[in-house]
Amino acid sequence: MSPMTDPPQPELAGRWRAAREPGGVIHLDAAGCARASRATVDACREYLAAESRVGGYVAEIRHSEPLARARTDLARLLGPGLTADDVTFHHSASTAFAALVEAWPLPSGGRIGVVRSEFGSNAMALAARAARDGIELVDLPVDGDGHIDLDALDRVGVTGLNLDLVTFPHIASQRGIIQPAAEVAARAAAAGVPVVLDVAQSLGQVLTTGLGAAAYVGTSRKWLCGPRGVGILAVEPRIVERLIPSSPNLYTATWDGHGLPVPLGGIARMGIGESAAAARIGLAVAVGELLDAGPEAVTTRIAALGRLARRRLDGVAGWQVREPLEEATGIVTLVPPDGVDPHAVRDRLFTDAGILTSAFPTSRAPRDMTGPLLRASPHVYTDVSEIDALADALGSHTRPG
């Protein structure tokens, strides 16, 4: 195979494949829920065994080191300027985002800069807050592919838009585009406007250091290859003291029986308290594996696989790749030919060809989608032969209905 098409880091890919249970399927759904390593799953299992031996509270105390390390590692992935003390865990990226949006101090009549490609759950949280407090959601200028258009932004200026907050997904779920997050955050910061960045699709997929947002939300089960059921929330210390969570409880606030509850200091006010600790222990292992492998090596291979997959898949049986072929992400979204239902094709690919992809309706991002899409998302452990298998199967399993 020519060096043009041969993705880098084949040894790393082999190591990550060998570190996982032998695949029952060709897994091309890292953007939905990636394959966890055996060590990640073992750590969860061992932790649950400790819960059986000594009870969950003592088990958690005995495992405080990996839990703290996970927060340190995540702060490193999202820094500089963040420490473990600025990171907490949530149920999911969606709940972390909703909690942030509810707690964010915004004037009545304030303005939030958004993008049309916002993730459905986030868009709902924003719409609800906007309706409650008379806040205006202002579309940031984007180019034809949905990237925030920096030139257009500079022409009007973040100051000219009169924004109180900016938020967007670093990488969209339904469109394999990466936003110029650092460039937008720098422009916003110069205008005194904080940015909340959704890194649910980017943590572990692309480099996320040096982006300069005021707050981040992410998730364990996608590109970080952690267990399900853990969200990630990181907030700059200078911002966190200004957040007022709308639903305080014993984990997040104090109350003396009179007046208003007082939020705890720091990120603790944004925590969720009770949780499935085993999943967080697994995430600690998964994040450690990413740092051991080197985020640069991992993300370079993922981007190469994405580009390769787009070239192979674009035009197969009439499917059209939606994002630019050269976009440096591992998310490949496909627009179906007329009369073809992506959900039915996803089901046939899985049942008849043993290939896992995902399909989703327009609710995923209602202002960015005009019809359902099919998505393939290879991770570092994906082999080129698996992308070839998808191209072949797509050719033979695409038919109306």
Interface with ligand PLP by CB under 6 A: which residues? 92-94, 119, 121, 169, 172-173, 198, 200-201, 219, 231
Two structure tokens written together for 5: 């098409």
Q: Pick between residue 37 and residue 179 the one whose CB is nearest to ligand PLP.
A: 179
Can you give the length of the chain in residues?
A: 401
Residue closer to ligand PLP by CB (options 19, 276) is: 276
Q: How many CB atoms lie within 10 A of CB 252?
A: 19
User: 279 or 353, CB closer to ligand PLP?
Assistant: 279
Whichever of 100 and 172 has its CB closer to ligand PLP, that residue is: 172
DSSP labels, 341-400? -HHHHHHHHHHHH-EE-EEE-GGGSTTT-SS-EEEEB--TT--HHHHHHHHHHHHHH---
Distance CA 337, CA 327 (A): 22
User: Which whole-number Å values give the CA distances from 271 to 125, 226, 250, 267, 348, in the listed order?
Assistant: 18, 19, 11, 7, 41
Write down the least CB distance from residue 135 to ligand PLP, Å. 20
Nearer to ligand PLP, 93 or 211 (CB): 93
Shortest distance, position 388 Cβ to ligand PLP, whole Å: 26
Residue 279 CB, nearest approach to ligand PLP (Å) = 12
What's the DSSP call for residue 55? -
Q: How far apart are CA 385 and CA 108, in angstroms?
A: 55
Contact of 323 with 380, CB cutoff 8 Å: no
Query: In the bound complex, what is the minimum distance in angstroms from residue 220's beta carbon to ligand PLP?
Result: 8
Measured from the CB atom, the residue of 70 and 340 that comes closer to ligand PLP is: 70
CB-side exposure of 362: number of CA atoms within 13 Å? Answer: 7
State in angstroms the smallest separation of the CB of 189 from ligand PLP: 22
Question: Strand order in 111-114's β-sheet?
Answer: 87-90, 231-235, 215-219, 195-198, 165-169, 111-114, 136-139
**Residue 233 has what DSSP assignment?**
E
Query: Which of residues 94 and 300 has its CB atom nearest to ligand PLP in the complex?
Result: 94
Q: How far is the CB of 77 from ligand PLP (least distance, A)?
A: 16
CB closer to ligand PLP, 312 vs 364:
364
Smallest gap from residue 272 Cβ to ligand PLP (A): 13
Contact 106, 244 (CB under 8 A): no
Minimum CB distance to ligand PLP, residue 103 (Å): 17
Whether the bond into 80 is cis, omega within 30 of 0: yes
